[in-house]
A and B are shown apart, each in its own frame.
Chain A
Amino acid sequence: MNKYIPQTEEEKLLKLKRIGLKNTSELFDGVKKSKIELANGINEQEVFSYINELSEINKKEIIFAGFGSYDHYIPAVVDKVSSIDSFLTTYTPYQAEISQGLLRVFFEYQSYIVHLTGLDVSNSSLYDVADAAVEACAISLSQKKGHASILLSGTVHPNIISCVKTWAQGLDCTVLISEVKNGKALIDKEVLPDDLALVLVQSPNVYGLIEDYTGLADIIHKRKSLFGIITDPMSLAIFRTPGEWGADISVGSTQSLGIPLSFGGPYCGFMSVKREFMRKIPGRIVGKTIDNQGRPCYVLTLQAREQHIKRERASSNICSNQALMALRNTVYLKYHGSSGLYNIADLCLKKSIYLAKELNKISGVTVPFINDLFWREFRVDFISKEIRDKVYSSLSKANICAGVKLSNLSLLVSVTEKRSEDEMSKYIDVVKRVLK
Chain B
Amino acid sequence: MYFTKEHEWVKIVDDTAEIGITDYAQKSLGDVVFIELPEIGTVFNSGEEISDIESVKAASPVYCPVSGTVFEVNNKLSEKPELINSDPYSSWICRLNKISFNVDELLTEEQYENFIKA
Taking beta carbons and an 8 Å cutoff, which residues of A are in contact with B? 279, 303-305, 309-310, 313
Determine if B61 and A304 form an interchain contact, defined as CB atoms under 8 angstroms apart. Answer: no
Give the shortest distance, in Å, between A8 (CB) and chain B (any CB). Answer: 42
What interface size band does chain B fall in?
10 to 19
Give the shortest distance, in Å, between B56 (CB) and chain A (any CB). Answer: 7
Give the shortest distance, in Å, between A100 (CB) and chain B (any CB). Answer: 19
Determine if B59 and A279 form an interchain contact, defined as CB atoms under 8 angstroms apart. Answer: no
Determine if A309 and B59 form an interchain contact, defined as CB atoms under 8 angstroms apart. Answer: yes
Determine if A304 and B58 form an interchain contact, defined as CB atoms under 8 angstroms apart. Answer: yes
Interface centre among A279, A304, A309 (most CB of B within 10 A): A304
Determine if A309 and B61 form an interchain contact, defined as CB atoms under 8 angstroms apart. Answer: no
How would you classify the secondary structure of chain A's contact residues: helix, strand, loop or mixed? Answer: helix
- The residue of chain B having its C-beta at the shortest distance from the C-beta of A278 within the complex is B34
Determine if A304 and B55 form an interchain contact, defined as CB atoms under 8 angstroms apart. Answer: yes
Whether B6 is near chain A, meaning CB under 8 Å from some CB there, is no
Return chain A residues, CB-CB under 8 Å to B58.
304, 309
Q: Given the complex of chains A and B, what is the CA–CA distance between A305 and B34 in angstroms?
A: 11
Determine if B36 and A309 form an interchain contact, defined as CB atoms under 8 angstroms apart. Answer: no
Determine if B56 and A279 form an interchain contact, defined as CB atoms under 8 angstroms apart. Answer: no
Taking beta carbons and an 8 Å cutoff, which residues of B are in contact with A? 33-34, 36, 54-59, 61
Return chain A residues, CB-CB under 8 Å to B59.
304-305, 309-310, 313
Return chain B residues, CB-CB under 8 Å to A279.
34, 36
Give the shortest distance, in Å, between B103 (CB) and chain A (any CB). Answer: 28
Determine if A313 and B61 form an interchain contact, defined as CB atoms under 8 angstroms apart. Answer: yes
Determine if B34 and A309 form an interchain contact, defined as CB atoms under 8 angstroms apart. Answer: no
Q: Given the complex of chains A and B, what is the CA–CA distance between A426 and B59 in angstroms?
A: 60
Return chain A residues, CB-CB under 8 Å to B54.
304
Q: Given the complex of chains A and B, what is the CA–CA distance between A309 and B33 in angstroms?
A: 15
Determine if A304 and B56 form an interchain contact, defined as CB atoms under 8 angstroms apart. Answer: yes
Interface centre among B33, B56, B59 (most CB of A within 10 A): B59
Return chain B residues, CB-CB under 8 Å to A309.
57-59
